[in-house]
Amino acid sequence: MNILNTLGKAALISASIAVSSIAFAGQGPKFSSNVHGFDDASGGRGNVGAPVVFVTSQGLYYDSIALADLPMTGDFQQLIPGSNGLETEYGPGDQGHRGGRWWIDVDGNGYQNDGDLFFLCPLIGPGRETL
């Protein structure tokens, strides 16, 4: 039962990431088969389905590109679906930025564990003030 619950939460978060990215990019719906709702490596800057991340400490939006799922080893930066779409505290040039190594707290417990998503999705500069 816990596995189904975790998979359900992961699917909801993946869908929200895809919808947020598409809505904030101002483009029509297109969903990929990627587990996180992003297009493959061809879905970078300006393409339908490409993720957009808002860096709260800078007040800037960055395009991104989803590259790979990662194992839960090393340092990760939390990525949170928020009022500006996908949000994080630190971006390029900030101490604390992890170069696009993200985790999403799927199970909502506030810390990294096997129930969460870990993936590589670097931010593409320069950042911009509007979507």
Which pLDDT score is estimated for 19? 41
pTM, to two decimals: 0.66
Which pLDDT score is estimated for 83? 86
Which pLDDT score is estimated for 30? 33
* Mean pLDDT by groups of 10 residues along the chain of 131 residues: 44 46 38 42 57 95 94 95 91 96 94 94 95 84
Sheet strand arrangement including 52-55? 80-82, 85-88, 52-55, 60-64, 123-128
